[in-house]
């Protein structure tokens, strides 16, 4: 797995945790290293939050509800229009 930047992390597992984790990795046909990467990615993905600076979450339409209809293309153009 080629990455431009990566970190090495260490942790301790009990003998039983290690035995179970190794068994799961073997069942899936992956190395312990790959299984730990997957576990970390799943952990992060489950806790991921939307970017609060994304215009989708900060855009407020000035029109009063019900006075103007907007289709998705218009909304995308408003939200993601380039300032340049």
Domain ranges of the chain: 15-47
pLDDT band at 75 (very low <50, low <70, confident <90, very high): confident
pLDDT in tens, 16-65: 999 999 999 999 999 999 999 999 999 999 988 887 787 777 666 555 55
Q: What is the DSSP letter of 77?
A: H
HSE-up (13 A, CA, CB side) for residue 13: 11
Is the pTM above the cut of 0.75? no
pLDDT of residue 50: 80
């Amino acid at each position: 797995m080629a990455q431009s930047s990566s970190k090495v992390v260490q942790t301790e597992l009990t003998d039983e945790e290690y035995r179970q984790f190794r068994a799961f990795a073997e069942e899936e046909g992956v190395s312990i290293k790959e299984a730990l990467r997957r576990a970390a990615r799943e952990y992060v993905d489950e806790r991921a939050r939307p970017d609060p600076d994304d215009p989708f979450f900060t855009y407020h339409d000035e029109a009063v509800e019900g006075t103007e209809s907007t289709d998705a293309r218009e909304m995308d153009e408003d939200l993601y229009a380039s300032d340049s």
